[in-house]
Amino acid sequence: MPWNPLIVAFCCNWCSYAGADLAGTSRLAYPATVRIIRVPCSGRVNPQYIVRAFQRGADAVLVAGCHPGDCHYSTGNYFTRRRFLLARTFLEYLGVEPERFQVRWISGSEGPKFQETIKEITQAVRALGPNRKLRDES
């Protein structure tokens, strides 16, 4: 079987999860590489989750939330933005290619953007090959 990358996506309930739902209702096909974990707000995503996903063998991690200024909880995603700038630098420092960790703002009306995002990340990660860096080989 050809290698298929695995993308673990944390999607906020109000915007990006809804955006993924809309991609579905609009029947916008995208690669079956992504597994979505629903979280209330992108601000809930602990950097620890990202590291854990890479350790357990994810090839890419996506954190998706509402557009800044549109957060259901008004300011949650501002913290997300700051926190993940740091997380990205940290991951790079550990040797994880920046393409493997993506933060995107996808609103509930952006089904096509969700589809595009998954296609894009899948392509980028396919080019990089499997993640070996943080993976624990247990």
Distance CA 68, CA 95 (A): 29
Asked if 83 is part of the footprint of other proteins (rule: CB under 8 A), the reply reads yes
Asked if 73 is part of the footprint of other proteins (rule: CB under 8 A), the reply reads yes
Asked if 90 is part of the footprint of other proteins (rule: CB under 8 A), the reply reads no
Asked if 89 is part of the footprint of other proteins (rule: CB under 8 A), the reply reads no
Locate 29 and state its tokens.
Answer: 């096909």
Under rule CB under 8 A, which residues in 13-72 are in contact with other proteins?
Answer: 13, 17-18, 20-21, 23-25, 27-30, 32, 35-41, 43-49, 52-53, 56-58, 72
Residues 6+ apart with CB under 8 A from 47: 83, 84, 86, 87, 90
Residues 6+ apart with CB under 8 A from 20: 9, 11, 36, 106, 111, 114
Nearer to other proteins, 39 or 106 (CB): 39
Measured from the CB of residue 58, what is the shortest distance to other proteins in angstroms? Answer: 6
The Cα-based distances of 46 to 1, 9, 10, 24, 135 in angstroms read 34, 13, 10, 27, 18
Distance CA 34, CA 128 (A): 16
Measured from the CB of residue 128, what is the shortest distance to other proteins in angstroms? Answer: 14
Near other proteins by CB under 8 A: residue from 79, 116, 124, 128: 79
Strands (DSSP E) contained in 44-118 are: 60-65, 101-105
Binding site for other proteins (CB under 8 A): 1, 3-4, 6, 8, 13, 17-18, 20-21, 23-25, 27-30, 32, 35-41, 43-49, 52-53, 56-58, 72-76, 79, 83, 115, 130
